[in-house]
Amino acid sequence: MAAGKVVKPKKNFRCSYYMSATVGLVGCLAAFLVAYVVKNFKLEPLNNPELSPLKAPKVTDLAEFDASYRDQMLWGSYRSGLYFGMRTRTPKALLFGMMWFDPDDPNTIQQLRARHDANQGDGLTTYGWKRHDGRLYGTQELVDGEYNITLSMLKSFAPESGPGGDWSVRLQLARTAGVPLRRRRISVIVYLGDEDTPREPWQVFPDGEVADLRSGPARLLSGASSAVGRGSARWAFHATEITNAMISSTRSRGCRVDYLSLGMVNSEYLLRIKELALSAMWERLQRQPSSNRFHLYLPNGASTSADLAMFQVTCLLPSAVDFAFTSSAGGSDDVGDRLGSLLGPGLGDALAAKEAEFDDRFEAIFGAGLRRQQDGESPASGAVPEGTLEVSRAALSNLLGSVGYFYGSSLVRVGGPDTKPQSYWPAPLFTAVPSRSFFPRGFLWDEGFHQLLVQKWDPQLSRDMIAHWLDLMNTKGWIPREQILGDEARTRVPTEFVVQNPSHANPPSLFLPIAKMASQLVQAGTQGSASGIDGEELARVSAFLRRAWPRLEAWYKWFNTTQTGPLPTSYRWHGRDPFTEAELNPKTLTSGLDDYPRASHPDDLERHLDLRCWMALASQAMYDIGSSLGIPGPVVALYRATAKSLSDLGQLQQLHYDKALGRFADWGTHTEDVELTTKVITVPGPNGQPQQQVISQRVTGSEPVPQFVPQYGYVSLFPLIMKLLPGGGNNPDAAEAPAGAELTLQQLQLLQDPSLLWSPYGLRSLGTTEGLYKKRNTADDPPYWRGQIWININYLVLRALSHYAAANGSEVGRVAAVAHDELRLRLLKTLVSNYHQNGYLYEQYDDETGRGVSSHPFTGWTALVTLIAAQEY
């Protein structure tokens, strides 16, 4: 997926070895600390323009993100990489997390089998948010073999509550339907940690220790943190078991509570909380060998200087436990009244109301499009597959429920390849992420797609995320493409992939949601109002774009100067490796399409079609924004001129149209006559023993020559995708340009050729007849963008088809409409059936079987299924 995602997940640091050697907790953590320190770079600050923020007012400081907005958004399920966690949107977080395991099974220790980080290797049957509104409420189902955990989260704001308000988490712990019983109990550890120094000592069980949670709400913990208010503000954490029949399926049978609190030594303990908890339970077991039964419990100890506390709740199945976090501005510990609505039946009522509210809002925004039938040729075209509504809701909810808040610095290499990476300035990022298990962090080009969906659901939330991205721009106008901010994010990325290069681009896909905002302004300017948007909202959009303008200008300029091609109006993705002999086709990570075939021999002659089309989009958006905001004429005129020349069909064809094949293409020094061979070499192994290693080597037959790159795939579609072909809905020339329309028709025919991209399951990334279709790039690199179906590009094609379909009087319009309906239906069938059968949305779909492949859950741009179902473009 996004450039740089050639990342293999890092192996969990294993403590089991140390534990079995009875070195115990201390030894394990010491070993971990060594490992931790070794893998981190030593950094020296440097005053470099590439490491300094652009001098412009921050977009995140806009009035709409004022104190009351920040208060409301302070807490959230912002720990993207976990099955569930909450944190504050502060540089140093007050945070919450949970893990679960079988307390009676030795494998829990031997295999470190506790669930905490979302991890594909855990093999959960399914997990994900069923509903999540991005702000206040969410409910998630986690099916882990025999365990079925339903988790609901709700934030609430009472007049007495401090900044960020209160929040509740309900856990319903049950057996999975239809699975034979083996396990009788489950343990859930919930924990709170403060990355900052607590303002006063934490108190575990301030009201006296509790042995069972059935006698009403118990206060487990209280403290004070600058993350949730200064002065006398305090917080507390409570729990209760649900013992009545209110949740009929999960009437509680009794849970016990064990605990451990300690000082977390910077953040290292937090980063390895699972190992820490398991070590502590193992130690307790070792100390009490009298019992010959195997049970894991925390040792029940509290440190006087704790800033990390874990509570282990061990329950018979089924059971249900509610937790509540309360924050009090006034410093009183008495929250008696509020607990009634934060726990127990009061919480049940509130959750039911939120669920109904979510469904109503979803219906209001997406319902009509989901049901709209096309009056096209095929009678079935408008009817969506059964289960589409559920998948659409889950897709949106998972995108929102995976949104993360990160704080830290990127590592950037500003000098040559041998120079030490330097630290970018520390900054926050509030962003959606591609995948909780595999890519739980920000990716620049994915984010443009994420925001198309978020923007439709909650435009302000979307502006907040885009604002964070734009504020990461340096003085040169560059934004790092993969954001690995903070220790938690860094533990999941191997060091060699962490470093970013300030001369490398990534598609400016943020211009997709930004262009949408721009078009709202244009519409309001020409028609007096934009459809469906009230005046206040329009004012916020306008203020946002005005504040963003200097940054957008810098960003645009960075592309328009550093990524130019050899000829006027041509562009080139810089950073391809011309010297690699190991790759069948040298990768273009910067384009986002990683191993998609380009010119076989990278050089400065290359011109890249997709980048030129991205620049056409960006230029038009800049013109729209500038002219709507009344930016001085000469500046705006330049964007208009550039937009005009980039959308000029003659120039586009001259640079990128292969007349012989009738296709749009890249240009470069290329030969089709290449082959990948492998050979085995012997290298010295870690302990001096010779080791065999397979390396790949490319063999070039005939010499490369400058030419159009004859590989038909996603890149060939970009003129259509960016609506640069004549005959579309908004093009008044449609009727008078029959020659142009012929070209569009011809491209629409190519699009629907089953031997090329048109598969029964959606558009594949590369034609089956092409030389690199499904070819490995190196011995270690399986095909990635060489045939698989990707949802982001499919969405853009549908969006373009819907644009051309709007010209319903013409042949182009008719053909586009039919293609749109058919492609949409194929995609919905593929995604909906995979979700129902396999429990997930996926990174890619196989073009031969329709089966979801690669990482999952992948609810970044695959979540565009919601917009596809709703026909929102």
Ligand X SMILES: *[C@@H]1O[C@H](CO)[C@@H](O)[C@H](O)[C@H]1NC(C)=O
Name which of residues 249 to 278 contact ligand X (CB under 6 A). 249
Nearer of residues 143 and 236 to ligand X, judged by Cβ: 143
Quick one: which segment of 302-310, 416-424, 636-644, 817-825 binds ligand X (CB under 6 A)?
A: 636-644
Q: In the bound complex, what is the minimum distance in angstroms from residue 2's beta carbon to ligand X? A: 25
Q: How far is the CB of 121 from ligand X (least distance, A)?
A: 21
Residue 400 or 812 with smaller CB distance to ligand X: 812
Among 492-500, 638-646, 700-708, 781-789, which window interacts with ligand X (CB under 6 A)?
Answer: 638-646
Residue 373 as a binder of ligand X (CB under 6 A): the answer is no
Q: Which of residues 163-222 bind ligand X (CB under 6 A)?
A: 172, 174, 176-177
What is the Cα–Cα distance from 587 to 583, expressed in whole angstroms?
A: 8
Pairing of strands 758-759, 762-763: antiparallel
**Residue type for position 106:** P
Burial class (CB in 10 A: 0-12, 13-18, 19+), 378: exposed
Residue among 192, 399, 554, 807 that touches ligand X (CB under 6 A): 807
Binding ligand X (rule: CB under 6 A), the pick from 22, 693, 808, 849 is: 808
Q: Single out the residue of 119, 139, 140, 150 in contact with ligand X (rule: CB under 6 A).
A: 150
Stretch 828-867 residues interacting with ligand X (CB under 6 A): none
> Using CA atoms, how far apart are residues 31 and 268, in angstroms rounded to an integer?
12
Q: Minimum distance from CB of 565 to ligand X (Å)?
A: 10
Q: Measured over all CA atoms, what is the biggest interatomic distance in the chain, rounded to whole angstroms?
A: 92
> Which residue in 638, 695, 737, 853 binds ligand X (CB under 6 A)?
638
- Give the binding range for ligand X (CB under 6 A) out of 185-193, 329-337, 542-550, 806-814: 806-814
Minimum CB distance to ligand X, residue 355 (Å): 12
Residues of span 233-252 touching ligand X by CB under 6 A: 249
Least distance from ligand X to the Cβ atom of residue 604, Å = 16
- Residues taking part in catalysis: 594, 843
We find the least distance from the C-beta atom of residue 294 to ligand X, in angstroms, to be: 27
- 123 near 134, Cβ under 8 Å? no
Out of 639, 664, 708, 835, which residue is the one contacting ligand X (CB under 6 A)? 639
Q: Cβ closer to ligand X: 585 or 810?
A: 810
DSSP string, 465-525: HHHHHHTT-BTTS---SEE--HHHHHTTS-GGGTEE-TT-----TTHHHHHHHHHHHHHHH
> Is residue 669 part of the contact set for ligand X (CB under 6 A)?
no
Q: Is 387 one of the binding residues for ligand X (CB under 6 A)?
A: no
Our CA angle for 107, 263, 321, nearest 5°, is 55
Helices H / strands E in the chain, number of each: 23, 32
- By C-beta, is 573 or 790 nearer to ligand X? 573
Does 511 bind ligand X (CB under 6 A)? Our answer is no
Q: Give the x-and-dash track for 754-793 against ligand X (CB under 6 A).
A: ----------------------------------------
Write the burial class of residue 212 (CB in 10 Å: 0-12 exposed, 13-18 middle, 19+ buried): exposed
Residue 620 interacts with ligand X (CB under 6 A): yes or no: no
Q: Which two tokens stand for residue 581?
A: 């002999």
Neighbours of 308 (CB within 10 A): 23
- DSSP conformation class of 569: T
Distance (Å, whole) CA 659 – CA 646 = 19
> Is residue 815 near ligand X by the rule CB under 6 A?
no
Nearer to ligand X, 634 or 688 (CB): 634
Task: Tell me whether residue 244 or residue 249 sits nearer to ligand X (CB atom).
Answer: 249
- The binding track of 118-147 with respect to ligand X, each residue x by CB under 6 A or -, is -----------------------x-x----
Could you tell me the smallest distance in angstroms from the CB atom of residue 807 to ligand X? 6
Residues counted in the chain: 873
Q: Please, which residue, 158 or 638, has the CB nearer to ligand X?
A: 638
Yes or no: say if 90 and 170 are a contact pair by the CB < 8 Å rule.
no
Q: Which helix (H) or strand (E) holds 620?
A: helix 609-629
Alpha carbon 50 to its chain's center: 26
Work out how close the CB of 373 gets to ligand X at its nearest, in angstroms, rounded to a whole number. Answer: 12
Nearer to ligand X, 150 or 588 (CB): 150
Instruction: Name the nearest CA neighbour of 31 among 17, 45, 44, 20.
Output: 17
Long-range contacts of 377-381 (CB under 8 A, 24+ apart): 377/818, 378/818, 378/821, 378/822, 380/825, 381/821, 381/822, 381/825
Distance in angstroms (rounded) separating the CA atoms of residues 151 and 682: 52
**Least distance from ligand X to the Cβ atom of residue 810, Å:** 8
Alpha helix (H) residue ranges in 263-343: 268-271, 273-287, 336-342
**Least CB distance to ligand X at residue 421 (A):** 31
Binding mask 73-92 for ligand X (x = CB under 6 A): --------------------
Exactly one of 60, 77, 148, 152 binds ligand X (CB under 6 A); which one?
A: 148
Provide the CA 173 distance to its chain's centre, in angstroms: 28
| Interface residue with ligand X, options 319, 431, 560, 765 (CB under 6 A) | 560
CA distance 256 to 296: 12
Q: Which residues bind ligand X (CB under 6 A)?
A: 141, 143, 148, 150, 172, 174, 176-177, 249, 560, 638-639, 642, 807-809
